[in-house]
A and B are shown apart, each in its own frame.
Chain A
């Protein structure tokens, strides 16, 4: 039996559907939608790591960008010379001879976004809140003894021990000065019990209380952060009336959106993109040095890490890695090696011996340690992809290198929280981590990587238990009493000392790819805040 088909019904519906689709796409491609009127909004694509926008609770790379645009610090650092301190809210500052007391004179013209004056009481309140919140960046105020405010524009900060790093620390975005009156009205507290009494974190997600060139217009977790130019800004007004940072996780999506002109700056495009963008006059790309790096951490004190207790074994691993190959595999060759935990460009990084790839030397050292036949080493690491470095790629490359000297690396890539659980229990004999500076003083590297009481990795640095390197303890204390060439020389010695500990092995110091619309100016890697939004302009 022949069946006549309802051809017309089906095709009519299909044509109607297609027409709707074409109409919709056409409407979009002709840019018919409503946009913010007037001046151009700056749009940035970034894989954001924001967990809070409270300046004293924040602790992330994106926080540095956003907070430095909302909250001003008392001083800032010179982008050209990170050891040079420049005025910001304070017009002048002094310190006593032993670096235990710092006095700042605030600019009487400085005002918050609501028009009220920035006063010494706000500085005191901010620093005390940073300390008392017991948050991620509270360590910046370690050793704080007291703060005096003899008048509305004078603040004296006193420490229980010398702290020559303090001027660099108070240039860090987490020390941005908050309008204390406004913040307290919304649940903030700087009191000793601020860790529990302060209930303002939710408020700070949608509001700001700073004196910066921008104010917070809105935040949608996982979606965007929007800043609006502050009408009451007391300094030079920034070019862009508003800045929208959109969450774009994938680097290739960032690249596509930059190519299509949907964003002005793509912050995490891979180094491969440079070739793809070559010849595109609308987009500018630059490779710049950074202070970030990825490192291996040896933990002889971890379960299964006993073999690493012999320094010759750690040194053998150091020689067995082909650094150039790893840098090629991870960032297409756009990175550098690093001689110590103090990164290239920081005080103390000079004269450090860069790691060398020497398989024969590695084998020799293993033979001396009685391990000529090789061994197996577990390596749990987080599945990060930061600063263009995919940890999987890096660890696989290192795994291949170590096979050459008889070491079998058992790779265990984990989600971050799982990895953290392992570190907190059995530990991992070998792991991979990254580090970006919080401020521009080298003391942070000794405090964190040194075999000192505050050191993060000293607990598992030996089978025998926590390790203390007295030379580093004393060296750090000395550096904090110094400045200029003396301090640089001390940090150089501390860098060498940490390199000889060989608990931390920096693998790659990747360069950053700056990719942005060609008519945008002022896109630079900022040592204090990653990207200074207020410095951006238009040709």
Chain B
């Protein structure tokens, strides 16, 4: 397995170079003017200001020169400076990644735990009311658009009922914990501040639930189908004949065997959650990678677009690798070569 992992890691730089090249070319082909975002609409006709901005940001160079400059800088760990934030893209990504990771991980936990619970309930009470209810809940989660559920939940639970916290990572006037990991929940615990932990944790719940709800539906359907298959298998009858309790049978045999396909879904889902947090981050004022990507695209912020593409590519490659490895660990029949 070590050889397999090393081989996959070795080809990653090449694949990422491809990702960056494609992002570079596509962003340059768009019929749009990035200088507009830099100098502002009122200065578009001012040749001196436009020329100065083009010089400053290297946009006066031929495209091929810009490309090789970018790749050269990339090898030195310089992802360029964002046209919009005026900060190095690397530091922008480093600032925002923990926010998105924290949200995506929470969404993954909610989606996975909720999905498995719903799947178990459905399978164990097949065709009963609990099964129908659980399947309906999963179906709704998978079907409703995130922007709609996000706005609706905010309106109901925050604006009307006042039981959910405000959008954002912390409540208004709350001072963030000292930076250690960038995960506010973890940093609050490190700082020994449980009140701050609860504040950060409660702010995660609603957006993470909305992100994880769709995944919950996928996993619950998967678990339900797998468990029903397993429950019909010969070994289940044998286990029961040996007098093993129903709880032990479910926990130790049926559920465990049913979770193997879930691992595959989780790997891909994490990558998708991480890079697909755009809408939730926008609705919940979450300053993560998703909202950064949106702003970069709208302003045609070339360095930021390339940086986000690079990060997205890396996330998916690593998620795929992690999925393959986990699959082999969970299922001994799988061999990685």
Q: Which residues of A contact B (CB under 8 A)?
A: 3-10, 13-14, 17, 21, 23-25, 27-29, 31-36, 41, 43, 51-52, 59-60, 134-136, 138-139, 195-196, 201-202, 205, 220-223, 244, 246-250, 253, 256-257, 259-260, 262-263, 382, 415-424, 433, 435, 448, 456, 459
Contacts and interface: CB of A to CB of B under 8 A. Distances in A.
B171 A33 contact: yes
Contacts of A34: 174-175, 193, 195-196, 199
Nearest to B249: A6
B42 A136 contact: yes
A372 to B, nearest CB: 35
Contact of B198 (A7, A24, A52): A24
Given A25-B163, A222-B291, A35 B34 contact: no
Contacts of B32: 415, 417-418, 420-421
Contact of B174 (A33, A223, A263): A33
B166 A262 contact: yes
B5 interface: no
B282 interface: yes
Contacts, number: 205
B44 A222 contact: no
A244 B205 contact: no
B181 interface: no
24 contacts: A6-B124, A6-B246, A9-B247, A13-B113, A14-B121, A27-B201, A28-B202, A32-B198, A32-B199, A33-B174, A36-B175, A51-B86, A202-B86, A220-B95, A221-B92, A223-B285, A246-B168, A253-B283, A257-B172, A259-B159, A260-B166, A420-B33, A456-B45, A459-B45
Interface string B254-276: 00000000000000000000000
Interface residues of B, number: 79
A126 B30 CA distance: 38
B170 interface: yes
Nearest to A382: B41
Nearest to B116: A13
B31 interface: yes
A196 B58 CA distance: 11
Nearest to A417: B32
B250 A9 contact: yes
Nearest to A448: B42
Interface in B138-158: 154-155, 158
B167 A253 contact: yes
Contacts of A263: 172
A416 B42 CA distance: 12
Given A21-B205, A27-B199, A136-B39, A421 B33 contact: yes
Contacts of A456: 42, 44-45
Contacts of B168: 246
B56 interface: yes
B114 interface: yes
B77 interface: no
Given A59-B40, A205-B86, A221-B92, A35 B175 contact: yes
B129 to A, nearest CB: 13
Given A17-B117, A51-B86, A35 B42 contact: no
B87 interface: yes
A426 to B, nearest CB: 11
Contact of B205 (A4, A24, A382): A24
A220 B287 contact: yes
Given A139-B46, A202-B87, A420-B36, A5 B195 contact: no
Contact of A43 (B87, B173, B295): B173
Nearest to A247: B285
Contacts of B251: 6, 9
A223 B250 contact: no
Nearest to A23: B198
A25 B35 CA distance: 45
B43 interface: yes
B40 to A, nearest CB: 5
A259 B31 CA distance: 42
A31 B247 CA distance: 41
Given A32-B198, A415-B32, A423 B291 contact: no
B55 interface: yes
Interface string B87-124: 11000100100000000000000000110010011001
B173 A41 contact: yes
B298 A10 contact: no
B336 interface: no
B313 interface: no
Nearest to A14: B117
Contact of B114 (A17, A138, A248): A17
A136 B50 CA distance: 9
A29 B174 contact: no
Nearest to A416: B36
A260 B56 contact: no
A256 B37 contact: no
Interface in B41-95: 41-46, 48-49, 52, 55-56, 81-82, 84-88, 92, 95
